[in-house]
Structure 1
Amino acid sequence: MVTTKVPHPDVIVTDLEFEITRNLIAMLDNNDSWKLVVEGFNRHYSLFSKSDIRIFQSKSSPSEVLLNEIGNRCCTVGVLCDILLHCQLYDALSLLREPERVIITQQPCDSEDTKYIPEGTDLRLECRAFGLPPPKYVWFQGNEELRDQTSSVLFIRDFSVQHEGEYYCCVTQDIDDRELCQVYSHRVNVELLPLPPTIHEQPVPCVLFKEGDVVTLSCIATGHPEPQYEWFKENFRLPGEESNTLSITGVTASSEGSYRCYVHNIAGAVWSNQSNISMILSNPCDEESRPRIIATEKVALLIGNDTYTDLSDLNTPSNDVATIASILKDIGFKVIALRNLTLGEMRNAVREFCQLLPQDGYGFFYFVGHGFEIQDKFMLPVDAPGASKYRRCNSLCEKEVIRDVLEVKPRLFFILLDMCLKVPDRNDNPGIHEELPDVFLYTAQRNLIQQYATTSNLGAYERPTEVNGIYVNHLKKHLAKDIPILNMLKMVQKEIANESADAVDKQVPLTSLTVVNDFYLTDPVTGHPETEARFQKLMALPALDTIVFDNIGWKSFVKIQPHRNCFHNSLDIYITNMARWAVVCRMACEKLQLKLNREDDNLIITIHNLQKTKLPIVLSVTLKHPETAKEIGSYTFDLAQPLITQAHLWFNCSRLINA
């Protein structure tokens, strides 16, 4: 084969040898590469006008005309080489310059030996090399050549466990068909990002057995690496039980107890729901003949935190509380609904809840807002420090609530936490992992149902386009049904399991319980006079239906009610016949938040944070002329201590229930 000698850099382009010119024209005509050359010359020298480019395009070989044009302007091979290099037209450049051995200019990895990729995402590795003639790329996984990966970029869609391994690139260069040059990139080990275990199938919450039966519990979890399992009875590990299934053969009375599974891998750990195993001492009655349980009273405390001082705000908690409150009222609950409480206010709200709830009553506690899990589950108040600073001592522990409510000896306590149960990141919040937390002990009874909108290491979600969070969006369809509570929770669980892809694997509800009887939220009540009297005190509102403004005798109708007819720490005052006036409202207490809205000719005054005031509330409403701002008339509302103000949630109480 005859090798053409490369030209000297000072040679004028039009003086190139015929063979070089012919090959160069062919390469630049291919894929309209000549346009890149024109752009390169214009970027550096502003050489060609739009009319010049139109002339090039009109020719059968634009590259031939272009080379003649730059040659006529005394363009040298050296200048053309610089333009080709800048445009990364290496095949054309190799015709005009001496061969250069290939070198790798960009390795596929940094200093890290291992690259971690979340499952289902795309892997992209890049290896760049330079040489003349231009090099070729071949990628390898281990010792296996990846025949479909022949560019400088390795791309694997939907990375999974089968793609784990060591990757590297072999860069080859063929010089004049006589010499083959090969260089290898650094090797990079690519693994799936470790994921803590997530339990997708919990052990059944309750198992009844006869002596000699075989009891089987199962717990199915996913994670990476593959989770490991350990089974516990009470707080004692069961030796040898290290699969996702626990089988107890020949059960006896000594087999009774609470069982749960500890699931772990290098990324984290999670406890399963408890499974309570009980022996049947006698034949149970048929379901239809079993009498319904009767509660002394049914009381609910609902708390929704959505406006935080140092944490991100949420969209739906107030809506979620309002939705649940409306349903529970319809089925006979006395409901206390509160929003945006500090830690002290949350504790005092639980204290008030415990004083309302009589012995043998049904208690329903619901919290929606920010939360976390680290050994126990914690609810974050609105005054919690920022994400890197909050501690368990800044939060309300679920066990603290359970302890205080169970002291009342309710027939049923149903606690529902609609919040994230993720462990705070050790790098972002190291202090919370070093904290020595308080311990809240309580004596377990067969009267507790614990429901979580999600499970450990997962979040609870809301969508900006929907009124309610994902869990309440499904719960509200079934909450009022006359069915056992566990059946209702299973319906919600199944619906969320059929949610869209953005939620089905990210939010997995979890149920834990100690009850053995079928409780219904619709069960009847006998009534409890003390609870009724205390509840009516917390519902107290001024008895006003009309007001007359001073000076002008302007008369308006008034309606005063809880905000959204729901919240006990916010108040709505509707005043009619106000369209023609500008209005100014004043209150003495700076901790109260005042908002004004108009609806047709009605003025709606909303007072938030009623729980913060220690004194009776006095509201002054002044009418002004809309153009001159001159005061026309005024009225002073003596609101006394409405709704939750009488519970004194501002009080600094370290113990929720008086001895």
Structure 2
Amino acid sequence: MSEPVRSTPGSLPLSRLAEPLLRRLSELLDRAAPGKGWRDLAQRAGSRGRVRLSPLDLEQCSLKVLEPEGSPSWSLLKLLGDRGCTVVELVEFLQALEHTEALQCLSHSGIKIVVQPDSQAVLSGQVVKLCCWATGHPFVHYQWFKQEKEVPHGNSPELVLNPVNVNDSGFYICRVNSESSFVFSRWARLEVCDLQGTSHGSLIGLPENKLRICIQPQPQNLTVGDALVLECGAVGNPIPHYQWFRNGFPLANGSKNVYMVTYADVEHQGTYWCHVFNDREDQDSKKIEVIIEDLSDLQKPADLQEQSNHRPVGLLYYAGHGYENYGNSFMVPIDAPNPYRSANCLCVQNILKLMQEKETGLNVFLLDMCRKRNEYDDTILILDALKVTANIVFGYATCQGAEAFEIQQSGLANGIFMKFLKDRLLEDKKITVLLDEVAEDMGKCHLTKGKQALEIRSSLSEKRALTDPIQQTASSAESLARNLQWAKAHELPESMYLEFKCGVQIQLGFAAEFSNVMIIYTRIVKKPPEIVVCRAYVTDFALDLDVDPKEANKGTPEETGSYLVSKDLPKHCLYTRLSSLQKLREHLIFTVCLHYEYPGIEDTMDERKEVNVGKPLIAKLGLHHGFKNNNCVQTCCMANNPFHNQIESSPVAAKYYVPSHCQPNSCPGTYHPNRICSDSIRQPETCSCNGTSRVLPSRHEVLNYSPPVEKSNVPVETTDDTVELEFLLSDNLRFSEQQ
């Protein structure tokens, strides 16, 4: 086996294409119709910042017509290849030019996977076969990987695990090689259920692909404060999905085979069961009872109960831009003017005063923000005196007068403080002890040594931890009304199906990331066989909402800027993220656009449907007062979007915001009210907190990568759950060249 090298799917350099193929592409471009020739290709490629084609480059390509057998297109393709242009990028450019013949030339020369490996859940001891069959010229080689590690002897189209065991669980992918290129199969997830010590005679003799529940949930008798853990396991192909129910209602966080509540209360008791399903069949687990006793009334004296019931905890976590003047800390809203002053910001010390008025038992402030002085603000605030209490803890991400940075890891951007804090949040330790350990962890990070250090300020005299149980008062009319409002602010539109005249049916679904952030996803569920290409986009949103058109209708939730709910969303959809729903004055109305093609017809067909989903999530509460109304619409455009030309010619400005620690209107990724949606490259990454370039990548850099829709077929890992592993695994994928 040769030395492994690092690569990612679709990153084949243009310079590595076979010479006959480059010659054929050159001929097609040289004699192309206006708008599809080599100059048009050069213009598209030159808009990419790293290619940078100069007028001299174009002149040299043009002069090739004076040479015998000279070709401007050949010269351009060689030039693009030398400057790192990839085959995927060339395909993007040709799609934008609608050069069908050149695209067919590329597709016919490549590898085509005709059988993809299937995800499946099986019993330990069974024989498992993962299949990947492909065609290519003159022949193809196969290479299987389990996550980023090569599978020994996995060099055939069928990977057989006989017998399979729990250690074989994971994600598998096959790399198919030909002489000039390679492609990856889709990821196949293998779950192996181990029933050692339990009886599973009822499963013996069943067809291998049959959906069956092999681990049933068990009844629970708990006391308040215990952990509730329910497990359901199933086997089948396609791989099973799970949805837990309590008293007949689906549970919001119940889409995994294990349902867990870390701190169970009496409200969690009831009748539970799990609905298991895949694309072919479904089955319910047995129904079990969960009983939770509250022993606190028997264990606590009456006066102690009364005292603890009226000592709530005040906790503020903030990540964003901030500053500190004269000992007061200020949090800067995303829509603050530039320059901003204290009157435009929230003072942390004022929030502490409000907490103290509620007679809180513990006040914790975790501030992931810069603490440099604001040179535009000379105001000295005269604040009311704070109470002298022994229950205050401040955890500052950085020292006074210093900046707070972000770091990129596994496709996510976190503040340095949060990166280390989240690893210890659930530790049952005094909050000051926990923060001390976070400070030690941060001190070992070589990226920020000498630049950022955690600062802790505390007057805490009790042993209080973030894991302390929350003491609740008896239900009052006020608390009941607040709970009803809270529930109302988390109501999503129901999933719906749309039928188009051409016979295509799509599913339109919704998910909540926060009470003011919603994900819309579209999926083709039925397509007539005579239609060869079919995509559904959402567009025409009111500018009351913050929708970044460049990050809409994407192939993964992460490409839209959503990382928190990606594991719970259905796969193989297009996703759009809507934020600032609190600004929505009217019903949410948008357009679903269907784009499809018939074989042998170059023209694309379009159909549109207007959808009204009412007021979703927090928009139901009408919290838009004070926001400027804007009746214009913005179109969610993207590379190769058939409706992109509409937005390019429109004067409507697209507003969007990507969280960052940089000052508004001075760093990329922040709120720009006058930015026009276009294909232009965004400005270089800088941070104006001190007028110098940033030491570490900003959050915008993480979100700015948008691979072509349906070009990448590898999952993305965004959480500890390995449902999505595309970019992490692909970035670490090692393989051996086989010729």
TM-score range, shorter chain: 0.3 to 0.5
Q: Point out the structure with the larger strand share.
A: 1
Return the index of the structure with the highest Cα Rg: 1
TM-score by length of 2: 0.36
Greater relative CO (CA pairs within 8 A, separation 6+): 2
TM-score by length of 1: 0.40
